[in-house]
């Protein structure tokens, strides 16, 4: 039975690499335009309290049952921008059998993420992913979140980061070198496997390829399950696969935890087992299992997406590829440490622009725990909220020619990201800003550095990547590139 399940998993994985999801199947542009332009009855989310002077949140439910989920998955950024044009920074839409309030633009997102009146809870994430990433750091609130973050920060100190960089360097160099002879790979999948190799090496000190493949499938199933329209464990469905993936991950970490407690390893798993605050606070075994599952997902998928976007834009704009390559070659043949990676200024600019154009986490969920207001609009307690960087990253009020790839916008003296505190927010903001942002940035720069040393890559002149937003943004065709040894 185990062999059959494993075989089915491998076949499914192979199909996913070759066949785009239904939401990304190419259609005539006229069909897509009619789909995007469809209009539904405008309604109020809830009547504001009498005498409050607040305005109702307006929106529409979209088609019955599915709401606007198919459009979100298919059109991503374009869908978000059109909703903003229609309704402004505060609106609602139907999706997943619920009404979801969308907060867009720098001012609205700042209110939710800074959360001065403690009205916005992380409970919004629980609706989507609690079954698969139970009690991960992103799902915790207020005092409990603060405590767990303080403990976890011990695993992300600069000495720890420096050690992680030293560990990941050889793995990345070996992985990138292994692509030699593959002249036209679907690079997203190669990058995904490589970032998993890094995660399993640096986070868990796991070296067995069979275990790594099994864990990879479990992570993929858990991540994709959060966007399932049918949110019930129907056999063969995405929700059921995610629940199975969660069990696989729980068993793996629970079985390996005692050895990590006893040892003194320098991987993240060991670091969490031994992390202690000045007050003596530590994680329980259950905490460690939950946090490892969440951190593996967060680090693995966001690094894959960011490196894929950078590879794509460097292929489209070879002048930037050559500029970045010159800086990497200047470092010589030694695997770079943390200071050398931080000095790769061109890669830093390209990464920031790629994060602007393709935010790895396109929506951040919240839930109101009490009645509140955003920009004069009434939000009742219990409202499911989606905070999106989409509009912020493409706002003409913050960015010059925002649809254009232009890494110089992040360089001095322009620094367009300073036009508003929340103009650029790929890592979120406020108390829940990504704790691993520095680790992720170093990993992506180290990966691209190795690619620049080993290869030149390109895409056809008329090629444009199509991003599938079924869960997190993924190139629907796997990002085929021409990869040539340098």
Closest residue by Cα to residue 165 from 449, 392, 456: 449
Q: What is the pLDDT of residue 22?
A: 59
Q: Give the pairing of strands 384-387 and 98-103.
A: parallel
366 strand-pairing partners: 385
Q: What is the pLDDT of residue 16?
A: 52
Cα(461)–Cα(464) distance, integer angstroms: 9
Distances in whole angstroms, Cα of residue 416 to Cα of each of 136, 397, 446? 33, 10, 25
Q: What is the pLDDT of residue 17?
A: 53
Q: What is the pLDDT of residue 368?
A: 97
Closest residue by Cα to residue 307 from 400, 425, 193, 205: 193
CB-hemisphere CA count at 13 Å for 398?
A: 22
* Cβ(267)–Cβ(204) below 8 Å: yes
State the angle between helix axes of 209-225 and 2-18 in degrees (0 to 180), rounded to the nearest 10: 70
Q: Count other Cβ atoms within 10 Å, centred on residue 411.
A: 15
Closest residue by Cα to residue 387 from 59, 108, 98, 86: 108
Q: What is the pLDDT of residue 20?
A: 58
pTM for this model (two decimals): 0.89
Cα(274)–Cα(223) distance, integer angstroms: 28
Q: What is the pLDDT of residue 103?
A: 97
Identify the burial level of 148 via C-beta atoms within 10 angstroms of its C-beta, where 0-12 means exposed, 13-18 middle and 19 or more buried.
buried
Q: What is the dihedral of CA 449, 450, 452, 456, to 10 degrees?
A: -160
DSSP string, 407-426: GGGGSTTT-GGGGSTTSS-T
User: Which residue positions in the chain have pLDDT lower than 70?
Assistant: 1-24, 206-210, 212, 227, 229
| Cα end-to-end distance, the chain, whole Å | 46
CB-hemisphere CA count at 13 Å for 276?
A: 5
Cα(468)–Cα(472) distance, integer angstroms: 8
| SS3 assignment, position 111 | helix
């Amino acid at each position: 039975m185990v062999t059959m399940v494993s075989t089915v998993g491998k076949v499914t994985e192979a199909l996913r690499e070759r066949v785009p999801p239904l939401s990304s199947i190419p259609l005539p542009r006229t069909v897509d335009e009619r789909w995007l332009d469809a209009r539904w009855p405008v309604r109020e989310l809830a009547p504001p309290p009498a005498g409050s002077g607040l305005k109702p949140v307006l929106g529409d439910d979209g088609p019955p049952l599915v709401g606007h989920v198919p459009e979100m998955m298919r059109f991503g950024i374009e869908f978000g921008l059109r909703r903003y044009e229609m309704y402004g920074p505060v609106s609602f839409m139907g999706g997943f059998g619920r009404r979801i309030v969308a907060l867009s633009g720098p001012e609205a997102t700042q209110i939710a993420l800074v959360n001065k009146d403690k009205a916005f809870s992380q409970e919004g994430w629980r609706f989507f992913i609690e079954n698969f990433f139970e009690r991960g750091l992103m799902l915790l609130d207020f005092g409990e979140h603060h405590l767990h973050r303080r403990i976890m920060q011990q695993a992300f100190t600069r000495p720890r980061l420096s050690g992680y960089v030293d560990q990941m360097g050889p793995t990345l160099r070996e992985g990138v070198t292994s692509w030699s002879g593959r002249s036209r790979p679907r690079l997203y999948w190669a990058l995904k496997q490589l970032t998993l190799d890094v995660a399993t090496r640096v986070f868990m000190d796991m070296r067995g390829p069979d275990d790594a493949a099994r864990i990879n499938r479990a992570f993929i199933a858990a991540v994709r399950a959060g966007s399932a329209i049918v949110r019930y464990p129907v056999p063969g469905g995405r929700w059921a696969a995610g629940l199975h993936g969660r069990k696989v991950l729980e068993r793996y970490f629970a079985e390996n935890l005692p050895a990590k407690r006893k040892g003194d390893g320098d991987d993240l798993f060991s670091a969490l087992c031994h992390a202690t605050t000045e007050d003596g606070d530590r994680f329980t075994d259950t905490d460690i299992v939950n946090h490892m599952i969440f951190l593996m997902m967060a680090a693995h998928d966001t690094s894959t997406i960011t490196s894929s976007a950078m590879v794509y834009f460097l292929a489209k704009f070879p002048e930037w590829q050559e500029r970045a390559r010159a800086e990497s070659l200047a470092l010589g043949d030694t695997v770079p440490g943390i200071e050398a990676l931080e000095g790769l200024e061109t890669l830093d600019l390209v990464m920031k622009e790629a994060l602007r154009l393709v935010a790895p986490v396109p929506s951040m969920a919240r839930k109101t725990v009490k009645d509140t207001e955003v920009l004069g609009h009434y939000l009742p307690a219990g409202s499911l909220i989606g905070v999106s960087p989409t509009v912020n990253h493409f706002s003409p009020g913050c960015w010059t020619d925002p649809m254009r790839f232009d890494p110089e916008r992040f360089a001095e003296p322009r620094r367009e990201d300073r036009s508003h505190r929340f103009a650029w927010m790929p890592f979120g903001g406020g108390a829940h800003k990504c704790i691993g942002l520095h680790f992720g940035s170093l990993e992506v720069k180290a990966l691209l550095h190795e690619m620049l040393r080993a290869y030149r890559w390109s895409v056809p002149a008329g090629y444009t990547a199509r991003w599938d937003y079924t869960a997190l943004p993924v190139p629907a065709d796997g990002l085929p590139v021409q990869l040539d040894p340098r």
